[in-house]
Chains A and B, each alone.
Chain A
Amino acid sequence: MRRAPVVLGSTAVGLVAILGFHTHGSTVSLVQPGGTSPAAGSQGSSTSQGSSSSASTGAGSLSSGTGPSGSVSGSSSTTPTTAASTAAARSAVGADEQTQYGAVQVKVTVVGSRITAIQTVQLSAFDPRSAQINAAAAPMLQQEALSAQSANINGVSGASYTSAAYIASLQSALDQLGFK
């Protein structure tokens, strides 16, 4: 009998891989166990990542590219677990990522294995047009990252400017927290 590539009892797994396109190789991936899968949702704890071994824990990770890469999984989301209510919120500020348009730095807050907030702590731009675009894009990126955990929305259609730097900073903040 084939071993299922996802956690036993789960019939579906959500998988979010974010990769660079038109980028210079800085890619990360976000992995999310199936938000509505009871089995995945009950995992509750973060799991070790790396190659395909993570598949058996309900989350697969995919990372690629030559830049900083990593993976994140959050147990989510329709049924808040008791673990979330007892775990303390932890925050970290990510690396200051430079782009050709300016600098990006984010702060992330996690409770247990769930991202609860992403704040932009630095968003500079070298010209007014970039400033305007950054101001519009940052909340959208935040929404995109958070909506990856939301049961209500699976994505956002909108501005085509998203920043690999934003995600790189987010990833480094998550790394500091040991958030897998």
Chain B
Amino acid sequence: MGTVVSFDVRFAPALPEMPWVALARARAALRRADAVFSTWKENSPMSCLRRGELELSEAPEVVRDVLELCAEARRWSGGWFDPWAMPGGVDPTGLVKGWAAQKALGELVAAGVSGALVNAAGDIASHGGPEPGTAWRVGVQDPFAADRLACVVELTGAIATSGTYERGAHLVDPHTGRPAARLASASVCGPDLALADAMATALMVAGEGGVDLLADLPGYEAYLIRLDGSVRPTSGFPIVAGAGT
């Protein structure tokens, strides 16, 4: 299975370090995350943990860090995002892609680039903008027509989208253990992609009522597309009026 991560990096010529070096570090961060957390790789620490061949105390520290983040996201999501309720054992996949992309972005930000967009196959972490004083513009996929956008947002931070049309979305209702999707798609933007990713997954399963959970999360906004195609953005969702679609 292929997941593709794309980078868009903008920088001033006077940068102290060649941006390719920072990009190489960003890519290395993704590869490390893949090596540790891939549930597709039989011998990754995560796979061993799931099979019970590895104790959490023996796992790499980063595994414990991510599972702690998962526990936090489970709390914020009112239990609708629950890696421990996945069939086949604990599975942080719903958060780890966003987490890895956010880490990769961190490498670029640390290098002093003026703008960076890390797009982990539709889950996007960003910094700055394409030009000084501008914001990154990102389209939200229309879940009913793959060649159309539902809306365009001006991004500050991250955006994650979960939809019924994606593979491996882990859209499982933690209360029943069965697959569930109560929306056509859910997009969540906010400061951190790991949490946005987890909350988008949670909203897909929880349905529209779950949007109240974001009230306790300053800076996080949602754009829900119902199964009938109607939409519900939260009040602060950064839509660009009349753009793109």
User: What residues make up the interface of A, taking CB atoms closer than 8 Å to B?
Assistant: 2, 4-6, 10-23, 26, 30, 32, 34-36, 52, 55, 60, 62, 64, 99-100, 132-133, 135-140, 142-144, 147-148, 152-165, 167
CA distance A99 to B167 in the complex (A): 15
With A22-B2, A162-B2 in contact, is A17–B23 under 8 Å at CB? yes
Q: Which residues of B contact A20 (CB under 8 A)?
A: 2-4
Interface centre among A30, A157, A163 (most CB of B within 10 A): A157
Quick check: A155 and B168 within 8 Å, CB to CB? no
A153–B13 CB distance below 8 A? no
B127 an interface residue at 8 Å Cβ cutoff?
no
Contact with A along B1-37 (1 / 0, CB 8 A): 1111111111111110011100110010011001000
Interchain residue pairs A-B with the least CB separation, the first 4: A158-B141, A4-B13, A164-B2, A139-B147
- What 1/0 flags go to B80-107 for Cβ under 8 Å of A? 0000000000000000010010000000
Alpha-carbon gap, A116 to B173, bound state (A): 43
User: For the side of the interface on B, what is the size category?
Assistant: 35 or more
- A154 and B141 contacting across the interface, CB-CB below 8 Å: no
Given contacts A12-B114, A138-B146, contact A23 B23 (CB under 8 A): no
* Least distance between B98 CB and chain A CB atoms (Å): 10
Given contacts A6-B13, A147-B139, 17 further A-B contacts (CB under 8 A): A5-B18, A15-B8, A18-B5, A18-B6, A19-B5, A19-B30, A52-B18, A60-B20, A135-B146, A154-B138, A156-B122, A157-B159, A157-B160, A157-B161, A158-B140, A159-B163, A160-B3
- Shortest A25–chain B CB gap in Å is 10
Answer whether residue B136 sits at the interface, using C-beta atoms and an 8 A cutoff.
yes
- Cβ contact within 8 Å between B123 and A16: no
Known contacts A62-B23, A156-B141, A158-B185: does B146 contact A17 (CB below 8 Å)?
A: no
**CB within 8 A of B138: which of A15, A36, A156, A160?**
A156
| Residues A140 and B146 in contact in the complex (CB < 8 Å), given A153-B152, A154-B138 | yes
Q: Provide the bound-state CA to CA distance between A84 and B31, in Å.
A: 38
Does B77 belong to the interface (CB within 8 Å)? no
Shortest Cβ distance from residue A8 to the other chain B in the assembled complex, whole angstroms: 9
Docked complex Cα distance between A17 and B22 (Å): 12
User: Cβ of A5 and Cβ of B141 under 8 Å apart?
Assistant: no
Contact across chains for A158 and B6 when beta carbons are under 8 A apart? no
Pair A160/B13 contact, Cβ less than 8 Å: no
Using Cβ atoms and an 8 Å threshold, which residues of chain B touch A133? 165-167
Residues of A near B167 (CB, < 8 A) are: 133, 159-161
Residue on B with the closest CB to A159?
A: B166
Complex Cα gap A132–B165 (Å)? 8
Q: Mark B110-140 against chain A: 1 for CB-CB distance below 8 A, else 0.
A: 0000110101111110000011000011111
